[in-house]
Amino acid sequence: MKVTIGLIPSPDMPHKLINKIYSELPKDFKNHVDSEVEWQFDMHIASMIGTAEHMDKALDIAANIKKQKNWDYTICITDLPNFSKNKSALCDVDFDNKTALLSLPALGAFKLKNKLRECLIFIIEYLHTPDKNQLDLNSKYFKLTQFNEVIPNEKKSDHKSRVIAKSTILGWFHLICGMTYANEPWSAIFDFKKIISVSFATGTYIAIFSTPWDISLDYSYWRFILLMFLSIFGMVGWLIYSYKLWERPSPNTQKLYRFIYNITTFATLSTITFFNFIALYILLTVSTLLFVPPELFSNWTSLNSKEPTVLNYINLIWFITSLGILAGAMGSTVENAEKIKRVTYSFRQYYRAKSLEQEDENNSSDYAQDDYYEGKKQSHHEEGLNEHDSR
């Protein structure tokens, strides 16, 4: 008996993760779902929907794709958040059409491959086994966050189920971490070269004066920590203000989603800036050791000819790094503004914004999202992908 499972990951992070586990899935399903079945997999990359507000349409679109490709089961893996009464929703399951929608950010940012593999196994097990009463995700990979199964407010004739996080706080924490991870903040570090250059120059200039040396000796650690956070959040605030990255109230975005997008923007930029803080600290370590020899450090400060310790140098570099980051944020720009926008928002949110801008400029209706429903033409999120996305 052969059973074909169609996987529809969104471009970018969902697609990357599916690629990492794709070859292992047949064996996993044979071991954990049904050993009598020959499991086959097919993949089709598609954004499905433009915004999270239209998440309810994804299962209908998936059912149409499933019918066209003659799959037995279909699972969509999206990088958009999904909510159920302000609680993070992990997945929606449609038993009638044998389709499911999995929200990848709800899995958090750690052990994603294992969590994703386990979710796929249990979703198909839930659909494939008629006598299975509940979707059990309380495994070793989901110790922190537990899930409940609820029935969504759909038509009574629809046989659907939704899995949501039990804890609102933990669910939101995992969601924000997952969305931040999906933004791949590490990919934008090299786009901050201008800011790092200005910060390094500023930090090096500060390091040649003895006043910062004395201040670093007198500062308590809570002041160092406060100054570090002030410099990091100062840069984040400057970037958000300069590049208009904060989503304002709009009829196109619901308040809940706008809030989660803005929190994710802040978390993503904070992560990038923290990485840059560490990089600048390493660069200024070399510079400080050259400009601040132990003899000068002892004679020009309150050390009074005592030999400076490693801790004294760590505190000094910490101090000038914070000042350098703060000055660099206000005095420079990033290398590629478009790249920062792409990292700040998820791929789909960025693509949606660019598509809407193009629609406004061209006054075109070629990008209607309902085009896929009739199976006659692909939506703008799928153009150029059908040639090489199936496996």
Give the domain ranges of the chain: 2-174, 184-345
Dihedral Cα 85, 91, 97, 99, nearest 10 deg = 150
pLDDT reported for residue 49 = 67
Residue (of 159, 157, 30) closest to 92 by Cα position: 159
Please report the beta strands in 95-142, taking only residues with DSSP state E, as ranges in sequence order: 99-103
**First vs last C-alpha separation in the chain:** 20
- For residue 38, what are its two tokens? 């020959």
The pTM (predicted TM-score) of the whole model is 0.81
pLDDT reported for residue 142 = 66
- 307 vs 158: CA distance, rounded Å: 77
The pLDDT tens digits of the residues spanning 230-239 come to 999 999 998 8
The pLDDT tens digits of the residues spanning 80-115 come to 888 888 889 888 888 888 999 999 999 988 888 988
Q: Per mean pLDDT, which range of 47-51, 291-295, 306-310 is the poorest?
A: 47-51
Name the β-bridge partners of 224: none
286 versus 128: the higher-pLDDT residue is 286
338 versus 173: the higher-pLDDT residue is 173
pLDDT reported for residue 33 = 84
pLDDT reported for residue 131 = 61
- 98 vs 59: CA distance, rounded Å: 10
CATH code for the part of the protein at 2-174:
3.40.390
Integer CA distances (angstroms), 11 to 78, 80, 314, in order: 9, 11, 43
Whether the per-residue pLDDT at 333 is higher than 90: the answer is: no
